């Protein structure tokens, strides 16, 4: 079996009733073979969107686990560990008034690289000042706990309950660049 066949099987197994465009496949194959990033980081998020992934943490009655980030003086709040299938933010629709992507959706996938780590830890420091000087691993734990990890994007369309995965995009590409890529239909 070729690597392309393996990837197509992995995508097929990750989808409930969704489908994908060739551009999405090309982007995912490039991520794997050129960038050296496991396609599993994207496939896990597809399974989360499609509802075929198990929860990150399965517990009796799906009760959340309280995670306490405070110091010895009780300055930190209790946070609850997200028990859903993904530690990244939930999928959201592009809804800026003049965006060429209006009506499409995006879902984050996380690649453990310095720029993503920096962006996520900066957000934690702004949102939770008591974690400002905490080690990066503790800051990332807060993001994971909230299910708010950010990263690059999976771009998709929803049509009558069926998701069509269009492409992968960089978080900072901008709507116009992503729109042009979708119009071209290839990398």
Looking at the chain, the whole-number percentage of residues with pLDDT higher than 70 is: 80
- For residue 60, pLDDT over 60 is answered with no
Question: Is residue 42 very low, low, confident or very high in pLDDT (cuts 50, 70, 90)?
Answer: very high
Place of tokens 């690059």: 152
- For residue 116, pLDDT over 80 is answered with no
Q: What is the mean pLDDT of residues 138-162?
A: 87
Q: What is the pLDDT of residue 72?
A: 45
- pLDDT for 68-106, tens place per residue? 555 444 455 555 555 567 778 889 999 989 999 999 999
Question: What mean pLDDT value characterizes the chain?
Answer: 83
Task: Tell me which residue of 5, 16, 89 sits closest to 46, measured CA to CA.
Answer: 16
- The Cα 93–Cα 152 span in angstroms is 15
Q: What is the pLDDT of residue 56?
A: 54
Q: What is the mean pLDDT of residues 145-168?
A: 91
Q: What is the mean pLDDT of residues 153-158?
A: 97
Contact 23, 182 (CB under 8 A): yes
Tokens of residue 76, six digits:
């930190």
- For residue 5, pLDDT over 90 is answered with yes
Question: Is residue 156 very low, low, confident or very high in pLDDT (cuts 50, 70, 90)?
Answer: very high
Contact 85, 54 (CB under 8 A): yes
pTM of the predicted protein model: 0.81
- The Cα 81–Cα 112 span in angstroms is 20
Angle at 99 between CA 41 and CA 48, to 5 degrees: 25
Contact 104, 94 (CB under 8 A): yes
Tokens of residue 98, six digits:
């003049």
Packing angle, helices 114-127 and 136-146, rounded to 10: 70
Question: Is residue 131 very low, low, confident or very high in pLDDT (cuts 50, 70, 90)?
Answer: confident
């Amino acid at each position: 079996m070729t690597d392309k066949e393996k990837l197509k099987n992995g995508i097929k197994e990750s989808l409930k009733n969704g489908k994908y465009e060739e551009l999405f496949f090309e982007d995912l194959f490039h991520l794997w073979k050129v960038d050296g990033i496991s396609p599993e980081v994207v496939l896990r998020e597809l399974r989360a969107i499609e509802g075929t992934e198990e929860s990150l943490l399965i517990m009796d009655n799906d009760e959340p686990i309280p995670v306490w980030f405070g110091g010895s003086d009780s300055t930190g709040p209790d946070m609850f560990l997200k028990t859903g299938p993904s530690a990244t933010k939930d999928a959201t629709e592009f809804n800026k008034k003049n965006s060429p992507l209006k009506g499409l959706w995006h879902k984050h996938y996380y690649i453990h690289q310095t720029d993503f780590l920096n962006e996520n830890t900066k957000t934690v420091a702004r949102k939770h000042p008591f974690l400002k000087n905490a080690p990066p691993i503790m800051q990332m734990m807060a993001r994971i706990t909230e299910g708010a990890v950010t990263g690059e994007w999976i771009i998709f369309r929803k049509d009558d309950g069926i998701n069509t995965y269009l492409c992968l995009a960089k978080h900072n590409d901008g709507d116009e660049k992503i729109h042009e890529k979708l119009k071209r239909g290839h990398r």
